Structure 1
């Protein structure tokens, strides 16, 4: 039995109802109506490849970050900050039309990370990772008293989201973002030199590995699995080659801090947002270098003597691991998902979807991103150019500032039928993208 504070939101014209819901039965609902799932007439305002369709599961649950979908199709969403006391939201479709008509919540903390693995739900705040046992309906129990898996993680305000992913060998990986742009003595300050060696790397700017089934692990009990990563919000475990993949947010402020080397256009277009395959002990080079996708190489950061062209130096980024994929600058890759479902065409099998939250610092140029991209993979490696998969989240008007975007993609999840779910942290919309094999048969 589980205890929830339960309410129905104004979803699809329903009025707001507040209820004290004492107990939720663990038995399946055999009387659930199956209406069939039809996409929204306008595909939820999204632009999709031919054969795909979309609907909004809901439109207003709060600042939705990462999400997971259990094998019954229930959607579990982590909120950046609690909404009416609930930091985790469960959305259920009771009449079988694909849209949420029941919403429950628990967890009084905000954050980003959430994952279903084995018999547990894992969720993170900005300082801790918690674990909830699942009942036979794949719903969390003991919601008022979760296990604490990890505690005492650094939260310095900047780049503080603790994204998580689990492997198949008993480990959980946590992003500890660098609380800095480029490790300057005075962060984001013109003329301030970079600290060398960068002291932030001792405790942040990387991926830490912990044991998934051990309670109350302190920060110091974790292992620094990889370093030189400014901030990773999107990460996933690629089960085809049993490796960790991450999406790094590149640095900012090149023209603001070093106008002698970079004009506004260069600063808007550099550096790349990159996908890395991460193995234990890897170093991606931050803060000493950044990846210039136009030159196709790492260059030395200006805080450490670079001028936009100089190569890395010994001890300052030389030997940084190469990216697997380089994307345009400042698009903020917040979600990564390797697709293993059977609904989508074969080209998508084992490929990577990336949710781009959208840029904020391309002024005076138009902001960009706000979409979901796809990278084809073969035998565990990228096997072709990346492409825009789902667009239109931001609306049709030009986005000159991030506040102009109607929706901003953040998290990705795969449903039991192979549908792709996308969260939005502006209004809290949840999108479901589907493909109809019968309708698209040749």
Structure 2
């Protein structure tokens, strides 16, 4: 992924496949332009990552057992949410000293992904609920047994069930409720099955719901469907510069498998785009009726609803502010507000791409963290690979056999960037020195 020379020199047998992969990832991506290659002067660090010149990475923790999202306190303590309990604990508090973080405590016995420190509380989520724990002045949980339920009864149909969330600065909580479907077919993922009229899934899923962060025991009836038409959002963040919610959607699968007369296997591998959306209340991103084709730079009507790969979708659906190659699985989104990194990164977005599993017969792709430049609160310019090497080798990337898979992102009080890996349980800390 880094450049053609490295593919050609280190992996002759896959040179052609590498070139195809680069071509698929270098097409212009929506309003933000296309991809820049990994920044010049990239260096290999002791943590095995390739980063722009001047950056270093250390693995501050390892073998944690499936860390998903992460939050770092102003004191530098690290809260990690495990996808499922490890030794009966799914929330870990780590204390970092001299580049190594040790587990101070663990609590919680529920599956899920979300975790945030905000306004004196630690917020976490299961696959059906959002909780909070009261923090002391040092942002430590006062009593782990006193878990308060903020939201309960969210739908969980065992597909896209993780309830990722973020919070704004006005006391609001935004929760992703993923669609329990690929494309709202009458028979999910069955070739030729058409879309359900009106897509009833959207009544309780396939969007972002807004709740009050300080109110307990809320249900659907207490919340607001803030945005709809989003298949599944794992990475989301509040853009403080623009005072707006931003989300990364996981695009649909199976265009060729479900409609082989309309799509080739290559089109299925690279389409549709993984999209970044800037969300206002009431927005509709169009799932399942449309998808965004980064090659044509258009919203395309889904085949389940009468599309043929060329017909454009309804203009009422919002456009993405940036678009990326298909099936890379954006699991983390962070707007960088620190001062440690060079000025170009200030207020831009980091995105953790967990990596693909469904690009065959094309090479698999992703398993990296990218940087999307912003200017005046808007996506501006080409995205670039910021941190690569998580997979372990180009062969691992192409074969979908990554050793590490980036998932969650957090900013430390000193401006360092933390990245979780939910495959081997590593937490990386990326820093910059002039």
Asked whether the two chains share a fold, i.e. TM above 0.5, the reply is: yes
Offset of residue 358 of structure 1: 0.3
Offset of residue 115 of structure 1: 0.5
Q: Work out whether 1:217 is the aligned partner of 2:214.
A: no
Whole-Å separation in 1 of the counterparts to 2:73 and 2:397: 37
Contact 1:365–1:400 (Cα < 8 Å) also in 2? no
Offset of residue 397 of structure 1: 4.0
Contact 1:373–1:387 (Cα < 8 Å) also in 2? yes
Cross-structure match for 2:70? 67
Cross-structure match for 1:379? 376
Whole-Å separation in 2 of the counterparts to 1:399 and 1:289: 32
Whole-Å separation in 2 of the counterparts to 1:41 and 1:48: 7
Whole-Å separation in 2 of the counterparts to 1:230 and 1:102: 35
Q: Measured at CA, do residues 402 and 176 of structure 1 come closer, stay the same or move farther in structure 2, by a change above 3 Å? A: farther
Q: Which of the pair has more CA radius of gyration? A: 1
Whole-Å separation in 2 of the counterparts to 1:400 and 1:210: 39
* Superposed counterparts of 1:221-240, under 5 Å: 221-240=222-241
Higher helix fraction (1 or 2): 2
Cross-structure match for 1:82? 85
Offset of residue 401 of structure 1: 7.6
Offset of residue 220 of structure 1: 2.1
Whole-Å separation in 2 of the counterparts to 1:331 and 1:229: 16
2:47 to 44, 47, 50: 44
Deviations 1:149-202 (A, max 9, x none): 000000001001100100011100000000000000010001211011100011
Whole-Å separation in 2 of the counterparts to 1:239 and 1:407: 30
TM-score normalised by L of structure 1: 0.87
Contact 2:336–2:411 (Cα < 8 Å) also in 1? yes
Offset of residue 400 of structure 1: 6.4
Offset of residue 412 of structure 1: 0.1
Q: Work out whether 1:168 is the aligned partner of 2:169.
A: yes
Cross-structure match for 2:359? 362
Offset of residue 101 of structure 1: 3.0
Cross-structure match for 2:145? 144
SS of the equivalent of 1:217 reads coil
Deviations 1:128-159 (A, max 9, x none): 00001111221112211211000000000100
* Superposed counterparts of 1:91-110, under 5 Å: 91-93=94-96, 96-110=97-111
Q: Work out whether 1:55 is the aligned partner of 2:58.
A: yes
Whole-Å separation in 2 of the counterparts to 1:43 and 1:135: 36
Cross-structure match for 2:125? 124
SS of the equivalent of 2:304 reads helix
Cα-Cα RMSD? 1.3
Deviations 1:342-391 (A, max 9, x none): 10000000000000000010011211010000011111111211110000
1:410 to 393, 407, 418: 407
Cross-structure match for 2:30? none
Cross-structure match for 2:385? 388
Q: Measured at CA, do residues 102 and 180 of structure 1 come closer, stay the same or move farther in structure 2, by a change above 3 Å? A: closer
Cross-structure match for 1:323? 320
Whole-Å separation in 1 of the counterparts to 2:136 and 2:126: 23
SS of the equivalent of 1:201 reads helix
Alignment: residue pair count: 392
Contact 2:92–2:103 (Cα < 8 Å) also in 1? no
Deviations 1:245-291 (A, max 9, x none): 00000000011001101111110010000000000000000000000
Contact 2:273–2:323 (Cα < 8 Å) also in 1? yes
Whole-Å separation in 2 of the counterparts to 1:101 and 1:203: 40
Offset of residue 71 of structure 1: 1.1
Whole-Å separation in 2 of the counterparts to 1:348 and 1:240: 13
Contact 1:368–1:399 (Cα < 8 Å) also in 2? no
User: Could you say which structure has the greater relative contact order, defined with CA pairs below 8 angstroms and 6 or more residues apart?
Assistant: 2
Q: Measured at CA, do residues 382 and 397 of structure 1 come closer, stay the same or move farther in structure 2, by a change above 3 Å? A: closer
Offset of residue 217 of structure 1: 0.5
